Amino acid sequence: MKYTTTLKSSIITALGLSLIVSSAIAKKPHKRKHFKNNEGKNGAIKEERILDKKDTHGDQREPGKDKRQKNIHIYHKHSFKRIKALLKSGKITEEQGSIFKTTHTDITRQITNAKADGNISKAEKNHIRADLNQLNDNLTRIAGEAEKGEERTPLLNKRQHKLEEAVEAGIRSGRLSTLEANGIKRKLARLAKLEDKLKKDAKVSQREREKLFKEISEIKRDIKKELRD
């Protein structure tokens, strides 16, 4: 009798555990589906954070980017290097570069005059910094206009490049047939065309960005599916 009771208890426990596991498994697709629905939005938010950081201070390793140093002398030197870097990259014209260099020379003259008595006062430093800030604001604006939206989707461009590499790797390994690869390449080409269309006004809205990331997520799933077959 005691053995029968123990057996019944074991069966009930096993059934209970089975129901818990089944319930957990059943919930997984719902979570995955929820994530898919948010892929476009998540990608758009992440990219806008990257752009916000880039627009505010720029990549510290990238020539011609805005670096507002605390030390006024380092900031002054960097500003001139920035003018040269933007000229070299073609983001400002020779005429614009000449105007910016003249402005920088005026600031150099201010620093020289301020140092004449052996010390730059706090008020003089603030005035020089304000002029350097204005110079760099103008450089950022002109350089940004020159980009014409080309660099306004950095995260999307990175993901596109990765997918293109995945297709080429799939072809080389034989996991993707020519027909499958061409189908994916056509989708990537349509995405690039849509991207160019949305960039025509040199600005991409959050809704447009979400649309692009949703499209690239669909292509990514297609590639994974084809590679599994």
Distance, CA of 117 to chain centre:
47
pLDDT at 125 over 80: yes
Q: Which residue, 78, 70, 60, is CA-closest to 135?
A: 78
CB hemisphere CA count around 94 (13 angstroms): 0
Highest mean pLDDT among 59-68, 168-177, 200-209: 168-177
Q: What percent of the chain has pLDDT over 90?
A: 34
pLDDT band for position 54 (50/70/90)?
A: low
3-class state of residue 177 by DSSP: coil
Contact assessment for residue 110 and residue 120, using Cβ atoms and an 8 Å cutoff: no
Give the C-alpha separation, 184 to 177, whole Å. 11
CA distance 109 to 120: 13
pLDDT band at 36 (very low <50, low <70, confident <90, very high): low
pLDDT digits (tens, 9 = 90+) for 91-113: 788 888 899 999 999 999 999 99
